[in-house]
C-alpha cells in the first residue's frame, strides 16, 4: 500500500499544516481520511485544449504518444504542473487493452475510436486472447517515469475501462447512441456476454497490477457509458463482474475510483462494488449524489466541464456551490463531472485550482464525518 496514507487514523501532519503533499492529500481523501483541503485534479487534464499537447500531437498520433513512455510521461507531467493540481492521471487511452486481446482499432479524426472488426458473434468472443497483457507494459513504464518525477508531491493515478464500457466499444465498434448491439448481445447471448466480461477482467487486473507495481497510488475505473443501462440491467449484467474487478484492484493495495456519466439512478448499485470513491457527473447535485451513496464512500466531482467557458464570477459561484455541497466532509476530491473538452480556456482551469485552494477553508469542517471514515472491505 502507498506510503502516502500515513498511520491509520493519525494524520502524518496536523490538519491545516502547510506542506501536506499533493500525493498524501489525494490518497488520504480517496480513503475518506481528514485532509487540510480537498485535493483537486481534472478528468482529461492533458488533452487538446492545451497548446503543449497540440504541439506534441503535430508530430505523433494519439496511440504513438501512449506507446512512447517518455512522451506519455512528458504530456502527463506538463499538464499536471501547468495546472497546479494534486494528482496526475497517466496519459493513455481506455481502448489500449483491445489490441493485445486481438481487436485492432484506430482513432479517426472527428469521429473518435473505430474498432475494425467489432464483436458480433460468440466465436469472435471465444477467440479473444487474455494472455498478452504484458504488451501493455508501455503504460507502466510511463507511470514509473511520472511517479519518479513527482515523488509524493502529486498523486499518481493509473486507470482502465470498466467491463461494460470496454465491451460496448468492442461490440459497437465505436461510440454509440443506443447501444443496440451491446444490449442485444447481453440479452440474447448471456453466456457469451459473461465470457467477454470475464476475459476483460482477466486482462484488466493484469494491466492494473503493472500500473500499481510501477507506482500508481490509485486506480480509476472509467465506466463512462454505464448510464445507458437501467438499474435492473446494471444489476443483472454488470454489477457482479465490476465488483470483482474493483475488489481485485483493491487487493493490489490501492484505492479505487469508480466513475460513470448519467449515473444518478445507478449510484446505490455502483456503491455496492465497494469502490473507495465514486465519481459523480454534474447532473446530480454533489450532496444528493453523496447522500444516495449513504455517505459511505468518498466522492469525486462534479463541476459541469462546460462551466469552464463561463465568465469568472459564474465559475466562482459554481465552484463555491460544489464546495458548499461537500460541506467539509472528509472524502471529497474536487473534479469535473466529465472530461475537459477541446477549446476550454486553460486559464479558467488554472483559476478553478486557485479557487479550490482559496475557498475551501470557508467550507472546511462544517459538518462532522457522516458514516464513519473507514471503508469495509471483503
Residues annotated as catalytic (active site), given as ranges: 44, 48, 57, 93, 169
Q: Which stretch binds ligand CP3 (CB under 6 A): 7-15, 32-40, 88-96, 279-287?
A: 88-96
CA distances from 210 to 141, 237, 314, 339, 378 (A): 9, 27, 42, 25, 23
For residues 202-225, one letter each, b for 16 or more C-beta atoms within 10 angstroms of the residue's C-beta and e for the rest, the string is bbbbbbbbbbbebbbbbbbbbbbb
- Least spacing, CB of residue 251 vs ligand CP3, in Å: 23
Does 182 contact ligand CP3 by CB under 6 A?
no
- Is residue 67 at the binding interface for ligand CP3, with CB under 6 A as the rule? no
Question: Residues 317 to 356: which contact ligand CP3 by CB under 6 A?
Answer: 339
Question: Which member of 57, 68, 120, 129 binds ligand CP3 (CB under 6 A)?
Answer: 57
- Told to check if 370 binds ligand CP3 by CB under 6 A, we report no
**Per the structure block, which three cell numbers stand in for 344?**
476550454
- 112 sits near ligand CP3 (criterion: CB under 6 A): yes
Q: Which residue is nearest to ligand CP3 (CB)?
A: 224
- Tell me, by CB under 6 A, how many residues bind ligand CP3: 21
Q: With contacts defined by CB under 6 A, name the span among 22-30, 46-54, 207-215, 311-319 that binds ligand CP3.
A: 46-54
62 counts as binding ligand CP3 under rule CB under 6 A? yes
Output the DSSP codes for 229-264.
S-HHHIIIIIHHHHHHHHHHHHTTT--EEEEESS-G
Under 8 Å between Cβ of 200 and 152: no
Distance (Å, whole) CA 364 – CA 306: 26
Task: State how far the alpha carbon of 200 is from the alpha carbons of 176, 242, 280, in Å.
Answer: 20, 10, 24
CB of 224 to ligand CP3, least distance (A): 3
Q: Which of 113, 158, 255, 337 binds ligand CP3 (CB under 6 A)?
A: 113
Establish if 39 lies at the interface with ligand CP3 (CB under 6 A).
no
Q: Which of 39, 47, 158, 289 binds ligand CP3 (CB under 6 A)?
A: 47
Residue 224 touches ligand CP3, criterion: CB under 6 A: yes
Between the CA atoms of 134, 64, 88 and 333, what dihedral angle is there, to the nearest 10 degrees? Answer: -90
Residue labelled with grid coordinates 464500457: 165
Rule CB under 6 A: say whether 215 interacts with ligand CP3.
no
Q: Closest separation between CB of residue 320 and ligand CP3, Å?
A: 25
Dihedral, CA of residue 29, residue 88, residue 147 and residue 153, to nearest 10: -60
Site residues, ligand CP3 (CB under 6 A)? 43-48, 57, 62, 89, 91, 93-95, 107, 112-113, 159, 175, 222, 224, 339
Amino acid at each position: 500500500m502507498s506510503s502516502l496514507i500515513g498511520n491509520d487514523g493519525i494524520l502524518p501532519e496536523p490538519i491545516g499544516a502547510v506542506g501536506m503533499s499533493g500525493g498524501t492529500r489525494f490518497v488520504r481523501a480517496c480513503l475518506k481520511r481528514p485532509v487540510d483541503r480537498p485535493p483537486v485534479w481534472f478528468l482529461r487534464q492533458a488533452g487538446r485544449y492545451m497548446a503543449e499537447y497540440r504541439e506534441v500531437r503535430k508530430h505523433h498520433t494519439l496511440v504513438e504518444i501512449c506507446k512512447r513512455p517518455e512522451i506519455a510521461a512528458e504530456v502527463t507531467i506538463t499538464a499536471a504542473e501547468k495546472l497546479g493540481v494534486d494528482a496526475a492521471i497517466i496519459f493513455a487511452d481506455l481502448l489500449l487493452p483491445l489490441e493485445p486481446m486481438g481487436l485492432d482499432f484506430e482513432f479517426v479524426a472527428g469521429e473518435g475510436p473505430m474498432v475494425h472488426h467489432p464483436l458480433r458473434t460468440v466465436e469472435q468472443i471465444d477467440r479473444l486472447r487474455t494472455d498478452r497483457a504484458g504488451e501493455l507494459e508501455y503504460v507502466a513504464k510511463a507511470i514509473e517515469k511520472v511517479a519518479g518525477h513527482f515523488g509524493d508531491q502529486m498523486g499518481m493515478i493509473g486507470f482502465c475501462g470498466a467491463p461494460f464500457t470496454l465491451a460496448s466499444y468492442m461490440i459497437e465498434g465505436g461510440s454509440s447512441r443506443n447501444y443496440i448491439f451491446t444490449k442485444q448481445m447481453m440479452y440474447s447471448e448471456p453466456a457469451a456476454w459473461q465470457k467477454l466480461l470475464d476475459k476483460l477482467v482477466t486482462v484488466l487486473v493484469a494491466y492494473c497490477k503493472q500500473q500499481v507495481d510501477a507506482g500508481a497510488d490509485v486506480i480509476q475505473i472509467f465506466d463512462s457509458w454505464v448510464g445507458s443501462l437501467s438499474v435492473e440491467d446494471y444489476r443483472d449484467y454488470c454489477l457482479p463482474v465490476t465488483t470483482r474487478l474493483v475488489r481485485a484492484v483493491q487487493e493490489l493495495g490501492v484505492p479505487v475510483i469508480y466513475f460513470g456519466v448519467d449515473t444518478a439512478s445507478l449510484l446505490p448499485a455502483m456503491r455496492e462494488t465497494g469502490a473507495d470513491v465514486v465519481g459523480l457527473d454534474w447532473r446530480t447535485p454533489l450532496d444528493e449524489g453523496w447522500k444516495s451513496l449513504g455517505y459511505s464512500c468518498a466522492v469525486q466531482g462534479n463541476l459541469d466541464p462546460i462551466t469552464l467557458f463561463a465568465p469568472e464570477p459564474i465559475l466562482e459561484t459554481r465552484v463555491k456551490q460544489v464546495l458548499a455541497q461537500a460541506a467539509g466532509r472528509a472524502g471529497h476530491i474536487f473534479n469535473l463531472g466529465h472530461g475537459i473538452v477541446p477549446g476550454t480556456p486553460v486559464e479558467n482551469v488554472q483559476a478553478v485550482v486557485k479557487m479550490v485552494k482559496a475557498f475551501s477553508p470557508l467550507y472546511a469542517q462544517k459538518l462532522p464525518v457522516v458514516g464513519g471514515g473507514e471503508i469495509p472491505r471483503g
